[in-house]
Amino acid sequence: MLKVEEQQPVEFSSALMAKFDEIVKRYPEGRQKSALLPILHEVQAELGWLSTDAMNKVAAYLDIQDIEVYEVASFYTMYFLKPQGKYTLEVCRTGPCCLVGAEKLMSHIENRLGVKENEVTPDGLFSWRGVECLAACGYGPVLQIGPEYTFYENLDEEKVDKLIEDLRRK
């Protein structure tokens, strides 16, 4: 079952709607469904996550079923179905990174930020989660920080603390 945090109804800005129109123009007539992924990216960039209301509005815009949007949004880990912090720390949790300290690093991040995985810090700055392979097995542990998805490798607790402090100062 799709579990999505809820919020107030969403109104897309005119600038966002213009982006939708521009994206749809890239595809052959009758193939507007092909614009779903890039449109979801734009919605998430503006709102920070994909609420049910936002997904329903995307479905209506593309003239597709709501469930088609839910299926895509819940399949790809790059889409957030609940609010995120301004910065989302994504730590690789697969075998090679775990062998060199990823689990310890995730525990440290949880303690340092004071929130569990997929929660948001009270100041709204941070959330974190473990993710599948980030394709840097020889450089672990690794993490990426969204929304830009800047990549960091060969991490330890001290390096993560510095990253967090640098982000707090931005």
The answer to whether 133 is annotated as binding is yes
Is residue 146 assigned to a domain? yes
Residues 28-46 have pLDDT tens digits of: 998 999 999 999 999 999 9
> How confident is the model at residue 148, as a pLDDT?
80
Q: What is the CATH number of the domain that holds 127?
A: 3.40.30.10
Is residue 81 assigned to a domain? no
Q: Are 131 and 88 in contact (CB under 8 A)?
A: no
Q: What is the DSSP letter of 10?
A: P
Residues 84-139 have pLDDT tens digits of: 999 999 999 999 999 999 999 999 999 999 999 999 999 999 999 999 999 999 99
User: 69 and 21: one domain?
Assistant: yes
User: 64 and 96: one domain?
Assistant: no
Q: What is the DSSP letter of 33?
A: G
Is residue 154 assigned to a domain? yes
User: 104 and 139: one domain?
Assistant: yes
Q: What is the DSSP letter of 34?
A: G
User: 103 and 60: one domain?
Assistant: no
User: 150 and 92: one domain?
Assistant: yes
Q: Which tokens hold the place of 7?
A: 């919020």
Domain that holds residue 30: 14-75
User: 161 and 94: one domain?
Assistant: yes
pTM of the model: 0.78
For the chain, how many residues are written?
Answer: 170
User: 63 and 100: one domain?
Assistant: no
> How confident is the model at residue 4, as a pLDDT?
54
Q: What is the CATH number of the domain that holds 20?
A: 1.10.10
Q: How many domains would you assign to the chain? A: 2
For residue 9, what are the CA distances in angstroms to 47, 50, 74, 101? Answer: 12, 12, 20, 42
Distance, in Å, from the CA atom of 43 to the CA atom of 35, rounded to the nearest integer, reads 12
> How confident is the model at residue 1, as a pLDDT?
44
Give the number of C-alpha atoms closer than 13 A to the C-alpha of residue 69, restricted to the C-beta side. 28
Q: Are 130 and 117 in contact (CB under 8 A)?
A: yes
Is residue 142 assigned to a domain? yes
User: 118 and 145: one domain?
Assistant: yes
8 has pLDDT over 90: no
Is residue 70 assigned to a domain? yes
Residues facing 92 on adjacent strands: 131
Is residue 5 assigned to a domain? no
User: 67 and 100: one domain?
Assistant: no
Q: Residue 146: which residues within 8 A CB-CB, separation 6 or more?
A: 84, 87, 88, 90
Q: Residue 40: which residues within 8 A CB-CB, separation 6 or more?
A: 50, 55, 58, 69, 72, 73, 79
DSSP-based three-state secondary structure for 120: strand
Is residue 38 assigned to a domain? yes
65 has pLDDT over 90: yes
The answer to whether 98 is annotated as binding is no
From start to end of the chain, where are the E strands? 87-92, 126-131, 143-146, 150-152
User: 26 and 64: one domain?
Assistant: yes
User: 41 and 69: one domain?
Assistant: yes
